[in-house]
Structure 1
Amino acid sequence: MKKYLNMFLLIVAFSLIVSGCSRSSSNKTGGADGTITLSLFSSMNNEGEKKAFASVVAKFEEANPKIKIEVNSPGDYEDMLRVKMAANDMPDLFDTHGWSQLRYGEYVTDLKDMDWVANLDPALNQIIKDEQGKVYAFPLNQAKDGISYNVDVLDEYGIEPPATLDEFMEALETVKEKSDGEVTPLWIPGSDKSNIAQIFDEFATPLLITDQKNSYGDQLVDGTFDWNNYTLLAEKMKEMQDKGLLNEDVLTAQLQQATELIAQNKIAFTFVAGSLGPDATELNPDVKIGTMPIPAIHEGDQPSWIGGERHTLAIFKNTKHADEARRFLDFIAQPENIKTIAEGTSAPDALTTVDAENYFSKYYKEFEDIDVQPYFDRVYLPSGMWDVMGTTGQELLSGSLTPEKLSKKMGEEYNRLRKQ
């Protein structure tokens, strides 16, 4: 009995040590020389994005030698943050990546008293502010998601950026035919299910929301939605695969391959965004990458940008270094620093005091009359459905799910997650 008691005490002691290490990694105390280290978690994953952000962090540390910023950009960002939320052990600063209120709201400090709040783009008001005026996070940039494309490839084959899903399918088939299979019509890095979920999520908006005759927002919110209405997306994705319009390695292709392939003019369209354009141009100065809104699906409807907050920084409500974290946000909010981040991430800035010209500015201006719709899953689906969209998409492309079974599984998971 004594043997088991000693073993139990050892396990408890080890758990306390590990727990203490975990807490110290997220909210670090001052060093022996008085230096404060702030932990910061970001969902930035493209090299160009991380490079731009790192340059601003370096400037801050040079101007504030007693404050260090420990930046982490883990590939499994959401999973890691869920673990930290469960332990109430969040980083001092963290990216809410589109979930400032719904997922992270109870963990963040209210920032409404900070000077930069007066200069927020009004388009973000409903996204990072609530009805009581609480400001949940500082937006480093905004999202205007659509489809990236190789300008020269489309020009060579006489393709205009498609405005409807039918035109998009025709464009993909034209690329396949005229390139004799040398150019991938639609390239998807599907080894990560999130990249497949992105496509389903963006196309769900024109399928189920923006067209007045096919708008199911209320039903999605109240739980009465008929998931047979979702099947068209799976049918179109499967049709693309069956016709050879997707990369053959769709389920093993990795995100980092996109830059090199599109720089070599081997990709026509892709949903990869971020710093894809400038990164590809670094490899091939002659390549031109454009961006376009998501095509309409129903006759008479218009294309849509999909967006809201892109990358943000929130302050953990229990951080031991709130003053230092606020000082960092104030520094980030300076126009020259926001400009650096917006240009480095190829995304619009989020402050009215900044007019950043980034790689895709020409296209944002070309399509400036197109409405920006919020991300589908953030408004209409319960938490956890993003993973379901990605997993079912992978199963569809592997042949283990039919389009009809995909919709059925989506409905089952939707109902299950609504009850949690």
Structure 2
Amino acid sequence: MAHPCSIVCPRNAISFPEGKALIDQDKCIKCMKCVQVCPYAAITRRVRPCAEACGVDAIDSDEEGYARIHQDICVSCGLCTVSCPFAAISDKSEIVQVTFSLMERKRETTSPKLHAIVAPSFTGQFGNKVSPEMIFAGIQRLGFDRVMEVAYGADCDTILLAEKYTTKQGKFLGTSCCPSWVLTARNSYPDLAENIADSYTPMVETAKKIKESDVHAKVIFIGPCIAKKYEALTTEVSGYVDHVLTFEELAALFVAFEIDLSTIGESPAIQDASMLGRGYANASGVGNAIIRTAEEKFGITDISFEKADTLSDCLEMLKHIDKGSTCPDLVEGMACPGGCVGGPGTLASPPTAARHVARFASSAPFEFPVCEKIES
């Protein structure tokens, strides 16, 4: 009798000693083709969803079979938190601190002004009928004094990185907007990591500009990223960003404050950033912005570009660069599938969010980045 599993296996990993199917784990590449064709559903794949989601292999099982996270390997991407079917892994939430700040601001008008800075992936997170302008208006109704696009900081970063490319010394110029990607490179390929730009992320660039105009302001970042919570606690960043919320936590605030975004009428246009800055949320968006700006401002052309989204793909990309099989001029790394639109703090599916990001970017007031002083 024919065995479909052995027929479809590309590595001849399946044999039949004593008439029973045996999979040679050393040969198996986990392509799952045998699972798909087995007429008896006799082949299953038992994996921990959190471990499978971890691109740096920071999760395994202890002696008793419980999941264990190796903190010395973990890069705080947060994808395990949304992959665990039992909600057994959580990140540190600052929603209580932000709520207290909002309530204090309403009680005491002399308290520090609250600035919400919103990641480029925000558009589309609350449904097709809620426009970006309605989301900004809703955030303002929570009690924030100002709501601003982090794409503004992306513009500042783009100009800086395009200029850095003109004086590039190493093998390549690596983007630095994703902290999990940067940590992964430093942990696994420290020599190559030296090529990653030492610039601040768009979140920090935006917060810095706000603090320059109002040193007492409180800045709350709202985005898709759990790694930003780690970043905001670091010594270099904690002075600029006071708290970090995910889009999921923002949705909880809307519910708590009884704000229905669908009922918000016409709202002021958002004009903080360029088309290229708003495109940062999608994979290739950062690299594309740098390439376009380098050509427009410095006349540089023919920049070879390589990108990866998901940390496992980032490691694979770095491996090829380390071996010399690829030699890109510009390298973009993203921890999440599809870029920031695939972050663990999102509400919309990555393909849906990516379409909304592209649409919102096309409506930007200007194409190329500008980084002007923020007025308080």
- Does the TM-score normalized on the shorter chain lie above 0.5? no
The TM-score normalised by the length of structure 2 is 0.29
**Greater percentage in helix:** 1
**RCO greater where, 1 or 2, for CA within 8 Å and sep 6 or more?**
1
